[in-house]
Amino acid sequence: MNRGALELTVGLFVLAGIGALALLAFKVGNLSAANSGESYRISARFDNIGGLTVKAPVTLAGVRIGRVSNISIDRKYYSALVELSIEPKYDNLPVDTSASILTAGLLGAQYVGLDPGGEETFLANGDRIEITQSAVVLEHLIGQLLFNRAEGGGGS
Residue 152 within a domain? no
Question: Residue 87 is part of which domain span?
Answer: 40-143
H-state helical runs in 2-134: 3-28
More confident residue, 65 or 34: 65
Is residue 86 within 8 A of residue 58, CB to CB? The reply is yes
Distance CA 134, CA 51 (A): 11
The verdict on 6 and 68 lying in the same domain is no
Task: Please tell me the total count of domains within the chain.
Answer: 2
Residue 154 within a domain? no
Instruction: State pLDDT tens for residues 56-101.
Output: 999 999 999 999 999 999 899 899 999 999 999 998 999 999 999 9
Most confident of 22-31, 40-49, 102-111, 138-147: 40-49
Residue 110 within a domain? yes
- Whether pLDDT at 33 is above 50: no
The verdict on 136 and 97 lying in the same domain is yes
Residue 150 within a domain? no
**Strand 98-103 with 131-133, pairing:** parallel
Average pLDDT (3-25) is 89
Q: What are phi and psi of 24, to 5 degrees?
A: -65, -40
Distance CA 156, CA 146 (A): 12
Q: Which residues of 46-57 are buried (b: 16+ CB within 10 A; e: fewer)?
A: beebbebeeebb
The verdict on 133 and 108 lying in the same domain is yes
Residue 3 within a domain? yes
Q: Is the pTM of this model over 0.85?
A: no
